Chain A
Amino acid sequence: MKRIGVAILGYGFMGTTHLAAWKMMDDCRVLGLWGRDKSRLNDVASKYGVRPYESFSQIIDDKDVDVVDICTPTYTHRKLAVEAMEAGKHVIVEKPMALNLEEADDMISTSRRTGVKLMVAHVLRFFPEYMKAKDLIDQGSLGELAVIRAWRGGPAPEWSPWFMDLGKSGGVTVDLAIHDVDFAIWINGCMPSEVYAKVANLVHKSHDIHDYALIALKFPTGCIALLEANWALPKSYPFTMKLEVDGTKGMIHLDNQSPTPLRLWTESGVEGFSPETLPWKPGVHPFPLDPFYREIRHFVECIKEDRMPITDGVEARKSLEICLAAMRSAAENHPIRIGG
């Protein structure tokens, strides 16, 4: 069977992370990389040994490209995704899928009309601890869900200026809180009926950005959720995710900082390791444990077996809708009813 040809758009943190995952797959080949800044593009392309494309249209015209992987800034997603799908390419696009629902709907309808796969890279669904939490919930270990508390935070992504521009990234609500919103929707199996939020710029006053969000959700099942997303943390703060779910029969708790299975202490400080964050080494680790690998593998299998990805456009639109409602709630300071 012919190998799946892949072109990657974007050479930042996510683009190179996806590139590394694609390169592990024997049944796929990375044909090349494209981004706006020529000199950065050439640097990254030569570092990873892939071809730098001259232009996006060169990718569109390349018959060998089956998949376009979009890891560019959020505000560019719609145009690139729609053009790629119109050219018959399957598209995996980084989360959030878009900045507003009009863009999201355009992407969804294009995917329907052209018949290609569209997946939004909500990688949290491929983290082993969140997969395990979902399993426990699905097995009924928690009974009916009652209270969810999720926490997610780290230093603001100032390394990429567009993140710090509300009009380009959507800020901490649309870019970061969307992970836990998506997870809360996934485990409840339905949309919340009401959203209330406080959103703020706590420590990045020189930017037009939100760096802190508190979001309360009410689900029609009776489950309630409180999500905190935080970019107002010191630069030395490790990226931290916590989750607590309380149900009628039991509760679960996870914290990505406490279960570090290996720590190295030296005079210069402490360094933590876990299998999911290790670089994959063939022969040493027979298969990669990296959630980004699992995520992209899921997309490849959906293409091969003609299935819908678990985070297709319709599913990803849900968390975007809630995050946008949260921002509106904060601006208007009242709860927003969903779907009513």
Chain B
Amino acid sequence: MKDLVRLGFLGVAHFHADSYARVAKKLSNVEIAGVYDRSPGLASQFAENFGLRRYGGPEELLKDVDAVVIASENVLHHEYVLKAAEMGKHILCEKPMAVSLKQADEIVKTVEKTGIKFQMCYVMRYHTVSTLVKELLADGRIGKLLAMNGTNKLNRALPLSRQWFTDRNMSGGGAVMDHTVHLSDLMRWYADSEIVEVYTVIGRNVNSDIDVEDNFLTIVRMENDVIGSIDGSWTYASGHYTWGDVTMELVGSDGVLVMDAFRQNIYYTGSDKLSWHYYGCDPDTLMVEDFIRCIREDTRPKAGVYDGRQGVAVTIAAYESSRLGRPVKPS
């Protein structure tokens, strides 16, 4: 078993990178080599925040590590994943895995060929509450699963905190690209079946200043005829007391499960407005720890490259459905 995993950060444009670095610094079996980002300003800030070395380029970083976290702008995932995989480095990849199906399929092929560990940041597979849902379903607590109704909302102020989220050329799209995959992945996991039909509508933006969609509603059907819905809109008011949510109602033949995964908060009110301060389980820690465990103990990640590919397929189908105005089968 490998004692110490040397980890690098290849692209930190996604603000989740900060959380993963916070976690990695706490782990005794991880050594953080440093960071590369195409934006020197962002790289410097990240390096300074976490006391890390800056690398001049992706190859320089990759040569010096066992594994990387890829949390760049979405459109760069493909290039970085291929580089890292070809050099035999393990990868923890921010979602969505890629912005097109072609890219996704190339990633699958390369990862399978090189045999590296590839874990998707499908963080809800590591969250204690959503994990418990899986166990309760397996225990038959609601009988046969029939329908799933989910939300993964985001506060509208958050996508504005990093400019690239609303720049189609860097993100590949808006709310659909950003917030389809967590719920589509949970649905695949819970139903143990693939999504075979996607219908998506996109409404008028709540924020007319951005040129990507900030809302959508999706209805899916799975191969085993479980139906579901996804609301991943970036439409929580900026004055809302929290960042967003992950909720799901699961209807079964013998009962209903109601999950509100980030519900555990202290309510704080200052002079301006109510805010929530989360004290529940820390899924980022559980996820990064599992990635390190996969490398050290040669185990399989809970969300791998194929799960990443299927998320991209549903996302692309959602855009196509909205454009065509009819249900679409993900390819």
B257: A residues at CB distance < 8 A: 262-265
B261: A residues at CB distance < 8 A: 261-262
Q: Considering only CB atoms, which chain B residue lies closest to A274 in the complex?
A: B264
Q: Judge whether A273 is part of the interface by a CB distance below 8 angstroms.
A: yes
CB of B19 to closest CB in A, whole Å: 16
CB of B6 to closest CB in A, whole Å: 21
Complex contact A249–B270 (CB within 8 A): yes
Q: How far is the CA of A250 from the CA of B269 in the complex (A)?
A: 5
A273: B residues at CB distance < 8 A: 129, 132
Q: Which of B256, B269, B290 contacts A286 (CB 8 A)?
A: B290
CB of B208 to closest CB in A, whole Å: 33
B259: A residues at CB distance < 8 A: 261-262
Q: Judge whether B115 is part of the interface by a CB distance below 8 angstroms.
A: no
Q: Judge whether B51 is part of the interface by a CB distance below 8 angstroms.
A: no
A141: B residues at CB distance < 8 A: 268, 270
CB of A37 to closest CB in B, whole Å: 34
Beyond A261-B129, A275-B128, A285-B131, whether A266 also contacts B269 by CB under 8 A is no
Q: How far is the CA of A238 from the CA of B279 in the complex (A)?
A: 21
B278: A residues at CB distance < 8 A: 132
Q: Which of A252, A264, A267, A289 contacts B267 (CB 8 A)?
A: A252
Q: Judge whether B281 is part of the interface by a CB distance below 8 angstroms.
A: yes
Q: Judge whether B277 is part of the interface by a CB distance below 8 angstroms.
A: yes
Q: Of B129, B135, B257, B268, which is in contact with the most chain A CB atoms at under 10 Å from its CB?
A: B268
CB of A225 to closest CB in B, whole Å: 18
Q: Judge whether A254 is part of the interface by a CB distance below 8 angstroms.
A: yes
Q: Which of B136, B264, B270 contacts A264 (CB 8 A)?
A: B136
Q: Judge whether A166 is part of the interface by a CB distance below 8 angstroms.
A: no
Q: Judge whether A128 is part of the interface by a CB distance below 8 angstroms.
A: yes
Q: Contact flags (1/0) for B247-260 with A, using CB distance below 8 Å?
A: 00000001111111
B164: A residues at CB distance < 8 A: none
Q: Judge whether A1 is part of the interface by a CB distance below 8 angstroms.
A: no
Beyond A132-B279, A264-B136, A266-B142, whether A251 also contacts B264 by CB under 8 A is no
Q: Of B128, B277, B289, which is in contact with the most chain A CB atoms at under 10 Å from its CB?
A: B128
Q: Judge whether A129 is part of the interface by a CB distance below 8 angstroms.
A: yes
B267: A residues at CB distance < 8 A: 252-254
Tell me the chain B residues, 12-28 only, with Cβ under 8 Å from chain A.
Answer: none
Complex contact B277–A136 (CB within 8 A): yes
Interface size on B, residues (CB 8 A): 37
Beyond A128-B279, A129-B264, A254-B266, whether A285 also contacts B255 by CB under 8 A is no
B277: A residues at CB distance < 8 A: 132, 136, 252
Complex contact A265–B256 (CB within 8 A): yes
Q: Considering only CB atoms, which chain B residue lies closest to A258 in the complex?
A: B263
Q: Of A128, A131, A261, A275, which is in contact with the most chain B CB atoms at under 10 Å from its CB?
A: A261
B265: A residues at CB distance < 8 A: 259
Tell me the chain B residues, 226-277 only, with Cβ under 8 Å from chain A.
Answer: 254-271, 277
Q: How far is the CA of A142 from the CA of B275 in the complex (A)?
A: 12
Q: How far is the CA of A238 from the CA of B107 in the complex (A)?
A: 50
CB of B140 to closest CB in A, whole Å: 11
Q: How far is the CA of A250 from the CA of B142 in the complex (A)?
A: 42
A101: B residues at CB distance < 8 A: none
Q: Judge whether A133 is part of the interface by a CB distance below 8 angstroms.
A: yes
Q: How far is the CA of A131 from the CA of B280 in the complex (A)?
A: 11
CB of B253 to closest CB in A, whole Å: 11
A285: B residues at CB distance < 8 A: 128, 131, 281, 286
Q: Considering only CB atoms, which chain A residue lies closest to B131 in the complex?
A: A284
Q: Considering only CB atoms, which chain A residue lies closest to B270 in the complex?
A: A250
* 28 A-B residue pairings within 8 Å (CB atoms): A131-B279, A132-B266, A132-B277, A132-B279, A249-B270, A249-B271, A251-B268, A253-B266, A254-B266, A261-B129, A261-B259, A262-B129, A263-B257, A263-B258, A264-B141, A264-B142, A266-B141, A266-B255, A266-B256, A267-B255, A274-B129, A274-B264, A275-B128, A275-B129, A275-B264, A275-B281, A287-B286, A289-B128
Across chains A and B, which 6 residue pairs bring their CB atoms closest together, nearest first? A266-B255, A132-B279, A250-B270, A275-B128, A275-B281, A128-B279
Chain A interface (Cβ < 8 Å from any Cβ of B):
128-129, 131-133, 136, 141-142, 249-254, 259-267, 273-275, 278, 284-287, 289
Given contacts A262-B133, A273-B132, A289-B128, 4 further A-B contacts (CB under 8 A): A128-B280, A249-B270, A253-B267, A275-B264
Chain B interface (Cβ < 8 Å from any Cβ of A):
128-129, 131-133, 135-136, 141-142, 254-271, 277-281, 285-286, 289-290, 293
